[in-house]
Chain A
Amino acid sequence: MRFESLIDSVGRTPLVGLPRLSPSEDVRIWAKLEDRNPTGSIKDRPALWMIEQAEKDGLLRPGCTILEPTSGNTGISLAMSAKLKGYKLICVMPENTSEERRQLLRMWGAEIISSPAAGGSNEAVRVAKGLAAENPSWVMLYQYGNPANWRSHYETTGPEILEDLPTVTHFVAGLGTTGTLMGVGRFLRERVPDVKIVAAEPRYGELVYGLRNVDEGFIPELYDADVLTTRFSVSSGDALRRTRELLAAEGIFAGVSTGAALHAALGMAAKAVKAGERADVVFVVADGGWKYLSTGAYEGTLDEAEERLEGQLWA
C-alpha cells in the first residue's frame, strides 16, 4: 500500500480471527487491530477528523494552539497530526498516567500540563475547560463532545468492519469518550439487523475512586445509551488476565484496555453458545502493549501485576 504522507495512511487496519480463543466454529471472535495506525492507536482516526473538521470550520489556522484533555493516545495522535500540519499542542493529563505516554508526547513536540491523579480524566477535563476559558485563542477540540470523533468511526472504522466481515453480529469496544461505540454502533445498526453493540468500561480499584463522590460521575456529551445493547464493567484483574491470554493464545501484544474489551467479547460469545446462536464478535484492539510496559502489567504473577496496576489508569 502506498500513501502520499503518514497522515494519509490512517485507518484500513487488519481484522484478524482468533481461532484459539473463539469458543466454537459457529461462534467466532475477531480482533480489529487499531494498533496498526501511524502512532499505534485507534485515536489516529478521531484526532485527524477533529483537526480537519476544525480546519473546514475555519477554527484552526496555521500557527494556532490546540488544547486537549487526554490520558495519552488522543494526545499522541493529535501531536503527530499537529506537527505535520503546523499547530502547537498542549495536553492536560492526569499525573498518574504512564511515563511512556509523557515521553511520546514530548517527542512529538507537545507540552504537558498535569492534573491531579485523584480526579482521573474528569479532573483533566475540568482543568482543560478552565484553561480554554482563560485563553480564548486556544482551540479545544474536546474529544468527549466533538461529533467529528464519532463521525470518524461512522465513516471509516464501521465500513471497514462490515466490508471485511458482512456476517458480523457483535461489536465490542472500550467505553471512554464513547466515540468508537457511537460511530461504529450507528453505522452497523443502520445496516445489520439485530447487531449487538457492547461497551466494556474499566472498573478501577477504590484507590482511584476513593476520593470522589458518587454523584460526580462524568458522562461524555457524545454518549447516547440507545446505541448500546449492553455494558460490561471489567475489573483490573480480569482486564490483565485477558490481555495475557490474548498474547499467550493468539500472539497479539495489546494494551490493558484491550483485555477489558476481550473480556466482554468472550462474555457475549459465551451467551451466544448457551443460546445456540451463531455469532461473529468483533472487538477493538485499541493499542499495543508498548506504552504499558512500565506499569508491570506483563511481568510476574497476575496478582503481582494487579497490585502494581492499583491506582493507575489503564484505559
Chain B
Amino acid sequence: MAIEVRIPTILRTYTDGAKAVDAQGATLEELIGDLESRHPGLQARLVDQGALRRFVNVYLNDEDVRFLGGLETPVADGDTVTVLPAVAGGSR
C-alpha cells in the first residue's frame, strides 16, 4: 500500500507526464520529501520556506490540508493526496 498523489497538468513535467504517482511518509512533509527523491524539483514548486506555497492547494481525501495541519498533517496508506493550483471556485 502507498499514498496516491494526484499531480496537476502544470506540474507533470516533473513526473514524466504522470497524472498520479505513489509516495510514502507519515506526514505531508515526509510525503513531499519522498516525492522529491524521485521527482527532483517538485518540492520547490509546492513548499517555500517551510510552508505550502500560497498559490498551491493540497487536499487529503478532498479536504484542504490548510484546515487540517498544513505540512504536519498525518497521512496514511490508502489516502489520496490531490495537488491543485489555487483558484477560487464557486458560482451562484
A84 within 8 A of B: no
A73 to B90, CA, bound (A): 13
B44 within 8 A of A: no
Residues of A with C-beta under 8 A to B61: 267
- In the complex, are the beta carbons of A71 and B92 less than 8 A apart? yes
A308 within 8 A of B: no
Number of interface residues of A (CB under 8 A): 45
From 226 to 264 in chain A, residues with beta carbon under 8 angstroms from any chain B beta carbon are: 228-235, 238, 263-264
Partner of A176, one of B68, B82, B85, B91: B91
A133 to B61, CA, bound (A): 43
Residues of A with C-beta under 8 A to B77: none
From 161 to 193 in chain A, residues with beta carbon under 8 angstroms from any chain B beta carbon are: 174-178
Partner of B62, one of A175, A215, A220, A264: A264
Residues of A with C-beta under 8 A to B84: 203, 233
Q: What distance in Å separates the Cβ of B10 from its nearest Cβ neighbour in chain A?
A: 8
Main secondary structure of the interface of B (DSSP, over half): loop
- In the complex, are the beta carbons of B59 and A219 less than 8 A apart? no
Residues of A with C-beta under 8 A to B66: 231
- In the complex, are the beta carbons of A313 and B64 less than 8 A apart? no
Known: A231-B63, A233-B59. Contact between A214 and B92, CB under 8 A? no
* Interface window among A8-16, A32-40, A204-212: A204-212
Most chain A beta-carbon neighbours within 10 Å: one of B8, B55, B85, B89: B89
Number of interface residues of B (CB under 8 A): 22
Residues of B with C-beta under 8 A to A267: 61-63
A94 within 8 A of B: yes
- In the complex, are the beta carbons of B87 and A217 less than 8 A apart? yes
Residues of A with C-beta under 8 A to B90: 121, 174-178, 201-202, 220, 315
A146 within 8 A of B: no
B47-83, CB under 8 A of A: which get 1 and which 0?
0000000010101011110111000000000000010
List 15 additional contacts besides A232-B63, A233-B89; criterion CB under 8 Å: A71-B92, A121-B90, A176-B92, A177-B92, A202-B89, A214-B87, A217-B86, A217-B88, A219-B88, A230-B67, A230-B68, A231-B63, A231-B66, A233-B62, A267-B62
Nearest 6 pairs between A and B by C-beta?
Answer: A121-B91, A176-B92, A217-B88, A176-B90, A230-B67, A231-B64
